[in-house]
Copies of this chain bind each other. A is one copy, B any other.
Amino acid sequence: MKQFVYLFLFFSLAVQTITGQRLSERMIKSAATEAYPGGLKDLMNFLKIPNIGSEPDQVGRNLNWCENKFTSLGFRTEVIETSSAPLLFAEKRVSPKKKTVLFYLQIDGQPVDASEWEQDDPFIPVIKEKGSDGHWKTVDWDGKGIPNPEWRLFGRSASDSKGPAMAFITAVQYFHEHRHQPEFNIKVVMDFQEELGSPSLPQAVTDNRDLFDADMVLIMDGTRHISNWPTLCYGARGIATARIRVFGPSTSLHSGQYGNYAPNPVFEAARLISSMKDEEGRVLIRGFYDGISLSEKDKKALGFLPENEDSLRLRLGIHKRDAIGDNYQESMQYPSLNVRGLQSGWVGKEVRTIIPDVVDVEIDMRLVPETPGERMIQLLRDHMEREGYYMVDDTPSPEERAQYSKLASLDYRLGSLPFRTEMDSETGHYLNKALSRVFGEKVVNMRTTGGSQPIAPFIKTLDIPAVSVRIPNPDNNIHAPNENLRLGNFLEGIITCLAILNEPLK
């Protein structure tokens, strides 16, 4: 990557663009470099609009921003009302003879705990560079020069996924400003509740079949392969979440008065959690991996990707990996069971000497097409019953408390469905052609990625092949404090989108 980034910093050639004429590799890279500082400024302004999907006011402000932007780029826009937050649709028709690509943009971000961030406000993005001491230091970019591609932009949604959305918008804007025509009709759908699992997307797709109809869906979301090469991903795991509440005494009790007498539910919950996985990280819930088999061909393709797991483990700060599959890529072909949150009583400054009354265990399960969410939740419930739990719907009654020593409730939600598009397909070939034109051999094709994408409705309802085009650096802290986007990745994201807009689709 570095080679050509530094190379075209020296380009002074003014790029000549003519409507309908295709751009060469060199012209694409030069165009991207030209558009990059402006795109970055736009992105920084966009990030300043907080974007928690559960906040209607924030959804509204982001939707307005997107509507204005796409209108200014010559798109027709349409707000699609749903039972939760609206979606925004935008369309630019080039020619009825051309095919159509639907781009999916995720505009909302994960909630933030500002106290955990190394900047004042996760919604005031900051450019930083890594000092020789390994710490990130704020850079005072003048807004004019070409920003160093090794700098990073820190802020909520920098990489997930306003950054990728803005790479696409910057490319579209370049075409628009230079009156250059894309090689296909463009449709765009913007989702403001992806992090909530896109609750209304499936119904909206069903209700708007014709509007969303296209020859291909490109999802501008997700993180690149750990090699940080441009990445195409043909499948994503789905997700189901569950909250288990393990019940102890009916109220929290003084640990002096009742310690040694009233059982503490933390020990019960700990035994339950322990029963779910072995020490190697393999799930012990009966039937959890049923139906999955990787062929030798699949395993070979997965093992082919350029991965250095020693450096990955070092980067993650782990001694050994969970023993699922033979390598990172294989592990993503299986469903996972994760405790994403755990709480009982109070810790730190708030600590108090009590026997807690409940333990909350927040679970997420990543799903593959072979393991639908309903079945997996049922397996979890069956497991708990086998472990001796009496399952209640709500807080147990005094009678239930008197009768059963193990009491728990389980609430769940089914999120995005898993999906897979064939890699060896017209869509796959087309995208590889576009990307290899600018990146050569260094394009990663991934069978399945670990994270979820609410894309299954397009595939299931409209029968359109879908692929995610991945831009952000893998060490981007998504969903966590200090989320960031490497600026070189943003620049390459613009190149990627220009290359696709520029590739004839037959």
Contact surface of A with B, Cβ cutoff 8 Å: 110-111, 113, 223, 236-237, 239, 241, 243, 248-264, 266-267, 269-271, 273-274, 276-277, 279, 281, 313-314, 316-322, 324-325, 328, 331-332, 334, 336-356, 359-360, 362, 364, 366, 396, 398, 401-405, 449-452, 474, 477-482
Contact = CB atoms under 8 A, between A and B. Distances in A.
B319 A402 contact: yes
A352 B403 contact: no
B332 A341 contact: no
Q: Which among A277, A353, A354 has the highest number of chain B CB atoms within 10 Å?
A: A353
B267 A277 contact: yes
A401 B318 CA distance: 6
A147 B279 CA distance: 60
24 contacts: A248-B318, A250-B317, A251-B477, A251-B482, A255-B336, A255-B340, A257-B474, A260-B324, A261-B328, A261-B332, A263-B281, A267-B277, A270-B270, A270-B271, A319-B401, A338-B355, A339-B345, A340-B356, A341-B347, A342-B347, A343-B347, A343-B348, A347-B360, A352-B479
A399 to B, nearest CB: 10
A343 B340 contact: no
Contact of A223 (B257, B331, B362, B452): B257
A249 B317 contact: yes
Given A260-B450, A450-B256, A477-B251, A351 B340 contact: yes
A452 B256 contact: yes
Given A113-B346, A331-B260, A356-B341, A253 B401 contact: no
Contacts of A223: 254, 257
Contacts of A113: 346, 350
A121 to B, nearest CB: 18
Contacts of A346: 113, 340-341, 362
Contacts of A324: 260-261
Contacts of A325: 260
Contacts of A343: 342-344, 347-348
A122 to B, nearest CB: 13
Contacts of A277: 267
